[in-house]
Amino acid sequence: MVGREEIQLTSEMAEDVLYAGDAPINEASMYELLSAPALAICFRILDTERNFVELIRKILYEEIPPLDESKPISDQPPQKTAFDLYKSYSLTKEEILETRREERDKRKEKIC
């Protein structure tokens, strides 16, 4: 990692991010990207023969951490890809809609 910075995405920037990635462009994704600052991370790959996008996709979607025979199973990382592990931290569509409804209700209370 070369650098990182928190940035507030615009609608156009968020669409570019989603278009360039594997995530479908949908209302919930756009809401989450625009609702708070995003962490932008800059990587530098030293092996110019490697394709960065292929490498990241392999790390996220294919690689499963190997079991360490010297540790008990309870101390082992889950046998999931990074994507499957971290998507469990994301809010569900229902949770996002509930949060938005609560925010809308708070705004209405302030107006009244």
**What's the pTM value of the predicted model, to 2 decimals?**
0.44
| More confident call, 105 vs 20 | 105
**SS3 at position 26:** coil
Residue 9 Cα distances to 13, 38, 65, 73, 110, angstroms? 6, 7, 33, 41, 27
pLDDT, one tens digit per residue, over 49-104 is 888 878 888 888 888 888 888 988 888 888 888 878 777 677 777 888 898 899 99
pLDDT, one tens digit per residue, over 5-56 is 888 999 998 888 777 666 667 788 788 889 988 888 888 888 888 888 788 8
Encoded tokens for 15: 């669409």
